[in-house]
Amino acid sequence: MKEQNLLNKIFVCLAVLSGSIWLGAYAERMIISYQLFDIDMNIMPYVNQQNLSGILVTIITGVYTTFILYIFFIFAFTIFLFTSKISLRQNGWLFIIAVIVYLTLPFEAYLSTIDYRIISAFSFTDVIDADYIVSLIKDRFTTLSSFPIIIFLSYCSMIYFLLFKPFKKEIQKETSPEGSGRVLSDKKEKL
């Protein structure tokens, strides 16, 4: 990261910041949303029509946050990868992070379409149709089953890769003693 220019450092900072806030909002949203339903995906007995709109107001902030920050995270991370001088071949930790991000992207994009319907049902109408929003939340859970939890755990593993940077390969070149610049051998070290 020392040889990166200021623009790349800004984009990596934006990607890490938006990704970490997205991850926290995603966890908060899952915790609150899963509390609405029992094991058979029926609404819990303590939820009734009087308090359902208040619960949905609580959930919708998480929906907004995850929807906007995920788009921003993908944008900033992609720009960072294309403009950085970091080699994915020599930095296995970054390669694994990129694989996690781009393998989960189509699934999270599909879930984001459901989120957009939740946002439009909540924001673009005068009357909140609580039953429709609850059916969309239920549809989000049943469509890909436990995949949101897998996405969450995959992104949590990225924290390990960012902190410890495993699978990093450094290439050190030895040149001839007379300074001709001719490479005698390449030494590869695993840190």
What residue spans define the domains of the chain?
6-190
Taking the C-alpha atoms of residue 26 and residue 21, their distance in angstroms, rounded to an integer, is 8
CA distances from 41 to 31, 117, 162 (A): 15, 20, 36
pLDDT at 163: 87
- Asked whether the predicted pLDDT for residue 115 surpasses 90, the reply is yes
pLDDT at 13: 94
In this prediction, residues 21-30 reach a mean pLDDT of: 93
Percent of the chain clearing pLDDT 90 (strictly above)? 50
pLDDT at 15: 94
- Taken as a whole, the chain contains a residue count of 191
Count of CB atoms situated within 10 Å of the CB of 147: 16
Instruction: Look up residue 73 and give its two tokens.
Output: 């995270």
